[in-house]
């Protein structure tokens, strides 16, 4: 064992990777990282004219950001190679086995380098990195080999670039020769090999996901937005193999033609807003508060009929705020996940089929409440007390125009971290109020809270101070409601407070459900939407529909924004709008309009309910109200046709 250990350690000491199988593995991965970086440079210079001027500092940021996506793609590609390489067996040093590993490495990595190089040209036609969708586009081509041959002939210089990368890969690979170490103790050999393998597995998982934090979701295409200033620059950050891997199983939207003419379509549904330019713009501040898992069910204001009229709820502060603000009786989320909320609230784009930020369309050009108000001179910011980069929020808000991001890093005091999700809400909301006071007015800012989340812990000093309720989430709802009360109390001391429109909603309805009417196709999406202005009379309860995608156009309508924009929702302050709401449950569209909810699967109406009366959805009225069905069918078909068209053709902004 001593001889084996001495031989093993000496290889590290002398940094002679040719004598250490584990260091040689790192070397092989670094070869591919180098080749991907060269490929990224090639992609940029082949298509430089499509990206405009990019300064050196910004270009370096893009290049460095791309390394995370390169590592993920390389690890996905080399999983078999890594597995075979790491299994602690003596035969892995055998020449034949090493030769097999070598050709697995050469073949798989040559293929992904070819994919990267193909986008040197193909990007010019699609203006996005190639995704898994390409295999469906060409699956019925009977002249595939002819097309490939034509590509090779027409773009021979790209082929030469690829051959150069492959030759460099082979050259660098052969610089390392694995030598079998001397060992006498089999137990030490297997145990040390197993330990290194487990360590490499852990590191590989982190590399695939893009990080090790509990709150880190596996990186996807939209995470490239963190490193760019415009959506088209995301193509430089990304690489083609990564784009293909991360869109496997992500379906694209079919173009629909329910209506033969644009005129007919727009008469039923038109998401292009043409504001009244005769109204004077109001330079009010805007603060949007997105509360984690704040279901409508937890509000006493909305649920006085529950528990035989004794239900108090767990949001006493927000219940009181509603009395002085504006809300709606039927308020709905447009998604069921936290990653659905920012597109819905900040850009008025609902998630359909797949979360928008994980979809093929996440690189489309978007207008947002931030990008639109920046044209009026607004300061823009987003706050989230979780570790920076959590759930890809930082990437998305940067992409849609929020210039300043404040997360756990900016907050800086780890002692006020909950140990899992982020900074405790009462601390972070206090920090939020103070930081807002440093901004030049007018400003638009959004905050996403964290504490009312599983495992529903409280700061030690707040234990026992809030009603426990019947569900674990109830006490954290009470705590965050209290934190909001303290935020408003503190904010009221600042000069900006009286000229600020506050909007409060939830990211989604909670999975913790206590009452039957919230365990329904509507209840799963029931969240609050509250507008409040300290000095403007916008009070009142409307027994009408509101949805998260209505928030952006409603804010712009309230401010009298005077330029056209695209929004799939409606301006709630405009009484002339026909109110409706849309969400998708189990791939079935749900349209709420007037007194009815219709479920539609893109082929036929599945059910029709009078949701304002039938709160448990026990009476399917399909087939009994043909006029209602026809009206609602046209509306949902118009919505789907326009939504799919705009997604597929990158028409989410005004040209």
Do 292 and 197 fall within a single domain? no
d(CA 601, CA 590): 9
pLDDT at position 143 is 56
As a whole number, the mean pLDDT across the chain is 88
End-to-end CA distance of the chain: 71
**Looking at the predicted structure, is the pLDDT value of residue 439 above 60?**
yes
d(CA 338, CA 360): 19
55 in helix, strand or coil? coil
pLDDT at position 17 is 45
Based on its alpha-carbon atoms, the radius of gyration of the chain, rounded to whole angstroms, reads 28
pLDDT at position 217 is 66
pLDDT in tens, 84-97: 877 777 666 678 87
Q: What is the DSSP letter of 586?
A: T
The 10 Å CB-count burial string (b at 16+, else e) for 604-614 is ebebbbbbbeb
d(CA 321, CA 300): 12
* DSSP output for 157-196: HHHHHHHHHHHHHHHHHTT----PPP---HHHHHHHHHHH
Cα angle 381, 292, 361; round to 5: 65
Do 372 and 489 fall within a single domain? yes
**Looking at the predicted structure, is the pLDDT value of residue 216 above 70?**
no
Counting the structural domains of the chain, the total is 2
pLDDT at position 180 is 61
CA distances from 636 to 263, 268, 327, 603 (A): 16, 10, 25, 11
pLDDT in tens, 270-298: 999 988 888 899 999 999 999 999 999 99
Residue 178, token pair as written in the block: 């694995």
Residue 50, token pair as written in the block: 């499509």
**Looking at the predicted structure, is the pLDDT value of residue 184 above 80?**
no
pLDDT at position 12 is 43
pLDDT at position 390 is 83
pLDDT in tens, 343-381: 999 999 998 877 888 787 888 999 999 999 999 999 999
Q: How confident is the model at residue 631 (pLDDT cuts 50, 70, 90)?
A: very high
Tell me, yes or no, whether 633 lies in a domain.
no
Region 61-66: mean pLDDT is 93
pLDDT at position 580 is 96
Q: What percent of the chain has pLDDT over 70?
A: 88
Do 128 and 222 fall within a single domain? yes
DSSP-assigned beta bridge partners for residue 506: 291
Tell me, yes or no, whether 484 lies in a domain.
yes
Residue 417, token pair as written in the block: 């971290």
Tell me, yes or no, whether 66 lies in a domain.
yes
Region 14-31: mean pLDDT is 70
Do 39 and 114 fall within a single domain? yes
Tell me, yes or no, whether 643 lies in a domain.
no
Asked which of 528, 552, 570 is the last residue of a domain, the reply is 570
Asked which of 206, 226, 245 is the last residue of a domain, the reply is 245
pLDDT at position 641 is 97
pLDDT at position 552 is 98
Region 28-34: mean pLDDT is 94
**Looking at the predicted structure, is the pLDDT value of residue 14 above 60?**
no
Number of residues in the chain? 655
For 517-522, the CB contacts below 8 A with 24+ separation are 517/615, 517/616, 518/295, 518/296, 518/297, 520/615, 520/616, 520/617, 521/585, 521/590, 521/597, 521/599, 521/617, 522/332, 522/590, 522/592, 522/597, 522/611, 522/617
Angle between helices 186-209 and 79-86 (to 10 degrees): 160
| pLDDT, greater one: 416 or 143 | 416
Q: How confident is the model at residue 613 (pLDDT cuts 50, 70, 90)?
A: very high
Q: In what order do the strands lie in the sheet with 588-593?
A: 580-585, 588-593, 596-600, 605-609
pLDDT at position 197 is 65
pLDDT at position 13 is 45
| pLDDT, greater one: 502 or 211 | 502
Do 189 and 306 fall within a single domain? no
Q: What percent of the chain has pLDDT over 90?
A: 63
Region 459-481: mean pLDDT is 95
Do 79 and 42 fall within a single domain? yes
Do 84 and 177 fall within a single domain? yes
Q: What is the DSSP letter of 310?
A: T
d(CA 193, CA 146): 49
Tell me, yes or no, whether 460 lies in a domain.
yes
**Looking at the predicted structure, is the pLDDT value of residue 602 above 70?**
yes
Asked which of 543, 570, 597 is the last residue of a domain, the reply is 570
Cα angle 509, 268, 349; round to 5: 35
d(CA 91, CA 95): 9
Q: For the CA atoms of 321, 325, 331, 333, what is the dihedral angle to 10 degrees?
A: -70
**Looking at the predicted structure, is the pLDDT value of residue 2 above 70?**
no
pLDDT at position 153 is 80
Do 483 and 535 fall within a single domain? yes
Q: How confident is the model at residue 144 (pLDDT cuts 50, 70, 90)?
A: low
CATH number of the domain enclosing 483: 3.40.720.10
Q: How confident is the model at residue 16 (pLDDT cuts 50, 70, 90)?
A: very low
Q: In what order do the strands lie in the sheet with 379-384?
A: 404-406, 379-384, 443-448, 285-291, 500-506, 529-532, 326-332, 540-547
Tell me, yes or no, whether 118 lies in a domain.
yes
CA distances from 621 to 524, 579, 591, 614 (A): 21, 21, 15, 11
pLDDT at position 137 is 52
Do 148 and 282 fall within a single domain? no
Tell me, yes or no, whether 453 lies in a domain.
yes
Do 127 and 89 fall within a single domain? yes
Region 179-187: mean pLDDT is 59
Tell me, yes or no, whether 216 lies in a domain.
yes
Burial grade of 453 (CB within 10 A; 0-12, 13-18, 19 or more): buried
d(CA 110, CA 167): 10
Percentage helix, strand, coil, to 5, in the chain?
50, 10, 40
**Looking at the predicted structure, is the pLDDT value of residue 332 above 50?**
yes
Its domain, for residue 508, covers 274-351+363-570
pLDDT in tens, 502-556: 999 999 999 899 999 999 999 999 999 999 999 998 988 888 999 999 999 999 9
Cα angle 38, 43, 44; round to 5: 100
d(CA 40, CA 521): 46
pLDDT at position 267 is 93
Do 446 and 564 fall within a single domain? yes
Burial grade of 483 (CB within 10 A; 0-12, 13-18, 19 or more): buried
Do 299 and 202 fall within a single domain? no
Cα angle 422, 427, 433; round to 5: 115
Element (H, E) at 370: helix 369-374
Question: Which of 211-225, 262-276, 346-360 shows the lowest per-residue confidence on average (mean pLDDT)?
Answer: 211-225
């Amino acid at each position: 064992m001593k001889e084996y250990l001495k031989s093993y350690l000496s290889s590290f000491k002398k940094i002679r990777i040719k004598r250490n199988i584990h260091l040689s593995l790192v070397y092989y991965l670094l070869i591919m990282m180098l080749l991907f970086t060269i490929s990224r440079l090639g992609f940029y210079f082949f298509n430089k004219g499509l990206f405009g001027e990019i300064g050196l500092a910004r270009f370096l940021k893009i290049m460095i950001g791309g390394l995370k996506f390169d590592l993920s793609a390389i690890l996905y590609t080399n999983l078999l190679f890594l597995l075979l390489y790491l299994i602690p067996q003596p035969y892995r040093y055998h020449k034949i086995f090493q030769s097999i590993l070598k050709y697995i490495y050469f073949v798989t990595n040559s293929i992904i380098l070819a994919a990267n190089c193909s986008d040197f040209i193909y990007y010019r036609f699609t203006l996005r990195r190639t995704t898994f969708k390409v295999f469906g586009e060409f699956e019925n081509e009977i002249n595939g080999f002819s097309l490939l041959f034509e590509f090779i002939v027409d773009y021979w210089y790209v082929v030469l670039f690829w051959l150069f990368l492959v030759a460099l890969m082979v050259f660098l690979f052969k610089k390392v020769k694995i030598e079998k170490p001397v060992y006498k103790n089999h137990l030490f050999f297997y145990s040390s090999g197993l330990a290194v393998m487990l360590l490499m597995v852990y590191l590989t998982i982190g590399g695939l996901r893009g990080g090790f934090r509990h709150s880190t979701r596996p990186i996807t295409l939209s995470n490239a937005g963190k490193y760019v200033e415009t959506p088209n620059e995301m193509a430089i950050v990304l690489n083609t193999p990564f784009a293909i891997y991360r869109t496997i199983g992500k379906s694209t939207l079919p173009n629909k033609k329910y209506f033969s003419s644009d005129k007919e379509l727009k008469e039923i549904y038109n998401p292009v807003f043409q504001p009244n330019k005769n109204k004077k713009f109001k330079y009010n501040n805007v603060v949007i508060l997105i509360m984690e898992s704040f279901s409508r069910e937890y509000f006493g204001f909305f649920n006085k009929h529950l528990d035989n009229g004794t239900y108090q709820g767990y949001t006493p502060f927000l219940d009181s705020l509603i009395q002085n603000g504006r809300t709606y009786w039927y308020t709905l989320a447009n998604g069921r996940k936290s990653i659905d909320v920012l597109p819905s609230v900040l850009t008025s784009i609902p998630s359909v089929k797949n979360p928008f930020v994980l979809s093929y369309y996440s690189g489309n050009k978007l207008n947002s409440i931030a990008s639109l108000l920046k044209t009026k001179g607004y300061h823009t910011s987003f706050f989230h007390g979780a570790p920076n980069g959590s759930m890809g929020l930082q990437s998305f808000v940067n992409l849609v125009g929020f210039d300043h991001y404040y997360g756990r890093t900016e907050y800086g005091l780890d002692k006020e971290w909950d140990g899992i999700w982020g900074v405790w809400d009462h601390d972070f909301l206090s920090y939020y109020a103070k930081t807002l006071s440093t901004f030049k007015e007018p400003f638009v800012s959004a905050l996403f809270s964290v504490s009312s989340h599983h495992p529903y812990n409280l700061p030690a000093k707040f234990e026992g101070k809030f009603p426990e309720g019947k569900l674990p989430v109830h006490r954290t709802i009470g705590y965050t409601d209290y934190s909001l009360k303290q935020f408003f109390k503190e904010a009221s001391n600042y000069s900006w407070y009286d000229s600020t429109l506050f909007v409060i909603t939830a990211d989604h309805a909670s999975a913790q459900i206590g009452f039957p009417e919230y365990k329904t196709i509507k209840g799963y999406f029931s969240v609050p939407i509250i507008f409040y202005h300290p000095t403007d009379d916008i009070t009142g309860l409307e027994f009408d529909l509101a949805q998260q995608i209505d928030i952006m156009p409603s804010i712009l309508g309230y401010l009298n924004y005077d330029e056209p924009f695209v929004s799939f929702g409606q301006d709630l302050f405009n009484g002339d709008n026909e109110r409706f709401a849309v969400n998708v449950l189990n791939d079935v569209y749900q349209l709420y309009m007037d007194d009815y909810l219709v479920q539609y699967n893109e082929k036929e109406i599945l059910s029709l309910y009078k949701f304002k009366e039938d709160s448990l959805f026990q009476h399917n009225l399909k087939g009994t109200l043909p006029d209602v069905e026809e009206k609602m069918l046209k509306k949902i078909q118009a919505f789907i046709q326009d939504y799919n068209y705009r997604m597929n053709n990158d028409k989410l902004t005004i040209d």
